[in-house]
Amino acid sequence: IALLYALGTDNIDVKTISVVGGNVDVEQCARNTLQILELAGRSDIPVYLGANKPLKRPLKMLPEVFGVTGMSGGEDMPLPKVKPIKINPSTDLTNIIKYPTLVATAPMTNLALNVQANPDFTNTVKHMFVMGGSAYPEPVHKRLGNLKVDGSDGYAEYNFAVDPEAAQIVFSAGIEAITMIGLNVTRTVLYNHKIEKRLLDCGTKCAARAAKILSSVGEEDLEDYASVKEFGADPVRALHDVVAMVCLDCPDIFTFETLPIQICVGNPPLPSGQTVINAEVCDKKDVRVATKVDSDAFYDKMVEALFRLE
């Protein structure tokens, strides 16, 4: 949905996409990405096959949330005609990820491999928008994450928890500006039957597909968001990744704080991947952290962008 939004707004020019193992394996992630590009008529955008596993940990996939394909509601989409470009993510991506603005909506393994292979890579990136972490407790369950971290009593946001070492490397690499859009904001703009109707009323294939994907809520999300439903079958879920894309496009509808952020890695009893405001030990001292979004303006922007696609 974040990709569809980026393709539907005039203010974002998508140059390239690198995929990484996350909710499903990297091959399936690439297939999903190519299907969305084909749906939107943008198969010209190259998709590069990145890392299939975190730097030091096994990959934790979430079929119970997003289905076995990682894109429930898209199972009937035709297989893409274009293939992803296979590369060595630890070397080749340095010459590919060369644009001044990056949006990271997955574990940051690819970016960390770039930093390790070529420290000068960070000089190219002027601003990175990250969907990850949670500087403050998210509003649904009052936690600092949505994934129970193994060996811990605590929670961390999924993208950071899957590869905390990668997140720490990227945040401490010296990138000029990082904006973090975490669960404390993404869980304030929820998809439900009202937004579903607005998307279907657009009358376009992209908006209709977005509605179908978003409405295909897994059992875990049905339970997770039970307290914020208007009725039992309301397809409520957070709109995580697209919030980061709207933040890039329309920062004026967000409120921010500049905070020193530490990403926990091997800091018991704190869970790995949890983000902590820590001025004494931080990975980046001046992260622009989104703390609030105008939800009505957000919904309007999202629906408008999807309406503009056929």
The pLDDT tens digits along the chain (310 residues) read: 999 999 999 999 999 999 999 989 999 999 999 999 999 999 999 999 999 999 999 999 988 888 889 999 999 999 999 999 988 777 777 666 677 899 999 999 999 998 998 888 888 889 999 999 999 999 999 999 999 998 888 999 999 999 999 999 999 999 999 999 999 999 999 999 999 999 999 999 999 999 999 999 877 788 889 999 998 889 999 999 999 999 999 999 999 999 999 999 987 888 999 999 999 999 999 999 999 999 999 999 999 999 999 8
Tokens of 153: 């009593």
pLDDT value of position 214? 96
Contact yes or no for 93/143 (Cβ under 8 A): no
pLDDT value of position 268? 80
pLDDT value of position 9? 97
Task: Please state which CATH number belongs to domain 2-308.
Answer: 3.90.245.10
Rounded to the nearest 10°, the torsion over CA 221, 222, 226, 229 is 100
To which H or E segment does residue 191 belong?
Answer: strand 190-191
pLDDT value of position 197? 98
Q: Rounded to two decimals, what is the model's pTM? A: 0.95
Residue 17 pairs with which residues in a beta bridge?
47
